[in-house]
Structure 1
Amino acid sequence: MREILHIQGGQCGNQIGSKFWEVICDEHGVDPTGRYQGDGSSDLQLERINVYYNEASGGRYVPRAVLMDLEPGTMDSIRSGPYGQIFRPDNFVFGQSGAGNNWAKGHYTEGAELIDSVLDVVRKEAENCDCLQGSSVFVQLQSSKSNISEKSNAKVCHSLGGGTGSGMGTLLISKIREEYPDRMMLTFSVFPSPKVSDTVVEPYNATLSVHQLVENADECMVLDNEALYDICFRTLKLSTPSCKYPYI
């Protein structure tokens, strides 16, 4: 079985990632405690469950996920949410100061101080895999130095507008590329939009991040909130599109 290691970073990446896990749990019939509650009528729910989950003692399924941020707020929200107890507690890696929407803080100072702790958790999860294939900075990877199968990739889910997702997210991508040079890397990157913006420095953060993606990522899935809003208005005819989080 090929496994995927999921890494989500920053406020945006973690908010999208938490919704991703709710959908994955529903698809596989896993309840918020990690127990399989499917109807048993289909073998598909359990056939591929090890792609995203580790089976723990007591028949519980634990997401193969690493969650990182430079401040505890989003981590606390996830842990207090409906699926917060399903994650491995040691896989929450966060700082206290935040990046202040500053790419340099995420890439060179606060993020650089935390990156080794994130990589330690990533290595631990990768070493527990039999055949790591891929990951949502959303991340999946595998080392050529280990006994893991050579077919693997990394998937990163992050925002390019904030300081952590852009600065620390691209730092993590470069570190993974350096340590696992022959692995494939896929990113899900939320780009800033003029009409859907939190801060005026988002274009600078995105500009500083793009060349890192060009150099280190094999494939980028670009997400644009403004385009999604446009679809809601023009195609779906929704006058007031909304979602639980500001990032659709």
Structure 2
Amino acid sequence: MREILHIQGGQCGNQIGAKFWEVVCAEHGIDSTGRYQGDSPLQIERINVYYNEASCGRFVPRAVLMDLEPGTMDSVRSGPYGQIFRPDNFVFGQSGAGNNWAKGHYTEGAELIDSVLDVVRKEAENCDCLQGFQVCHSLGGGTGSGMGTLLISKIREEYPDRMMLTFSVFPSPKVSDTVVEPYNATLSVHQLVENADECMVLDNEALYDICFRTLKLTTPSFGDLNHLISATMSGVTCCLRFPGQLNSDLRKLAVNLIPFPRLHFFMVGFAPLTSRGSQQYRSLTVPELTQQMWDSKEHDVCGRSTAWTLSNSISHVPWQDEYKRSR
């Protein structure tokens, strides 16, 4: 079986990752104790992609959870599916990164990275045929951006022929007021261009607008944004978790979607999106769903003009090669 190893880092990454596993467990018929309670053979046909089967028929997520402070880990453990994770796969420090990319990448994160890599190696050795890694993190904080990109670069060195998929949450002043978020994101994007194979771009501002305008939530919370992201992640990974012909693994997904290796930043759309009050009055058809998917208002990332500017700027990053040739 072609397994995927899931890694979540930082406060944002762990909160989104916890919601993701709640959704995935529900889709595969796994309860909060890790036991299968489903009613369809399709639910467990490819369950080994994301789960290890332990003794007594329990299914354990193939996940590594890391952070530079213990608070997030405690909240994940006390969550509805907190007992499903393997206890040894929680790796955390005590100091925190303080929204500082350099702390996560060079100091506190660098001290903890060997412990994380040990857990990653153990999980990778338990796989029959590891197809790649899936990293869930934000680019605005210190741990998810700094230590997250450090881990991605270390994994790229150790597993150069495995695929690397990231779910990266880009910052926005609408959702947070941390002044250093743009610097953290800029430093992280450079690392993602070099070391990631596929990057699902999730924009906090677009998610906030979807919750406010489409879902009619007057004061969207981080829980609302995380729920939207987890539903999107579940939809993106459906082709990897269930039997099918199209995009059945990470490499096929990359072959079908990436025109040039460095241009691997994907804009994610999700449909249908309707407010709770209007769901019972609508009967969506296939043309309506298709129209919603291509509507920029339903994308979990910035508007088309901004995204085009972003992709253009990323495609011109190879200034380093020109600089080396000039020397």
TM-score of the pair, normalised by structure 1? 0.85
Q: RMSD of aligned C-alpha atoms?
A: 1.1
Per-residue displacement from partner, 1:48-89 (whole Å, max 9, x unpaired)? 111111111111111100000000000000111111111000
Q: What is the CA–CA distance in structure 1 between the aligned matches of 2:75 and 2:100, rounded to whole Å?
A: 22
Q: What is the CA–CA distance in structure 2 between the aligned matches of 1:36 and 1:235, rounded to whole Å?
A: 35
1:178 shift after superposition: 1.0
Per-residue displacement from partner, 1:140-190 (whole Å, max 9, x unpaired)? xxxxxxxxxxxxxxx211001000001000100110111112222111110
Q: What is the CA–CA distance in structure 2 between the aligned matches of 1:208 and 1:82, rounded to whole Å?
A: 35
Higher relative contact order (CA 8 A, sep 6+): 1
Q: What is the CA–CA distance in structure 2 between the aligned matches of 1:232 and 1:14, rounded to whole Å?
A: 21
Mean alpha-carbon deviation: is it higher for 179-188 or for 159-168? 179-188
Is the Cα–Cα contact under 8 Å of residues 25 and 31 in structure 2 kept in the other structure? yes
1:120 aligned partner: 118
Q: What is the CA–CA distance in structure 1 between the aligned matches of 2:98 and 2:125, rounded to whole Å?
A: 34
SS, match of residue 105 in structure 2:
helix
Flag the structure with higher helix content. Answer: 2
1:239 shift after superposition: 3.1
1:219 shift after superposition: 1.6
SS, match of residue 215 in structure 1:
helix
1:4 shift after superposition: 1.1
TM-score of the pair, normalised by structure 2? 0.65
SS, match of residue 140 in structure 2:
coil
Q: What is the CA–CA distance in structure 1 between the aligned matches of 2:215 and 2:86, rounded to whole Å?
A: 38
1:237 shift after superposition: 3.8
Per-residue displacement from partner, 1:118-152 (whole Å, max 9, x unpaired)? 00100100011001123xxxxxxxxxxxxxxxxxx
1:4 aligned partner: 4
Unaligned runs of 5+ in 2: 221-327
Count the aligned residue pairs.
Answer: 219
Is the Cα–Cα contact under 8 Å of residues 100 and 141 in structure 2 kept in the other structure? yes
In structure 2, the CA distance between the partners of 1:196 and 1:92, relative to structure 1 (3 Å rule), is same
1:198 shift after superposition: 4.3
Mean alpha-carbon deviation: is it higher for 102-111 or for 200-209? 200-209
Higher Cα Rg: structure 1 or 2? Answer: 2
Mean alpha-carbon deviation: is it higher for 230-239 or for 201-210? 230-239
SS, match of residue 5 in structure 1:
strand
Q: What is the CA–CA distance in structure 1 between the aligned matches of 2:169 and 2:88, rounded to whole Å?
A: 27
Q: Work out whether 1:207 is the aligned partner of 2:205.
A: no
Is the Cα–Cα contact under 8 Å of residues 135 and 167 in structure 2 kept in the other structure? yes
Q: What is the CA–CA distance in structure 2 between the aligned matches of 1:133 and 1:182, rounded to whole Å?
A: 9
Is the Cα–Cα contact under 8 Å of residues 130 and 162 in structure 2 kept in the other structure? no
Q: What is the CA–CA distance in structure 1 between the aligned matches of 2:96 and 2:218, rounded to whole Å?
A: 35
In structure 2, the CA distance between the partners of 1:198 and 1:75, relative to structure 1 (3 Å rule), is farther
Mean alpha-carbon deviation: is it higher for 189-198 or for 100-109? 189-198
Is the Cα–Cα contact under 8 Å of residues 67 and 73 in structure 2 kept in the other structure? yes
In structure 2, the CA distance between the partners of 1:198 and 1:72, relative to structure 1 (3 Å rule), is farther
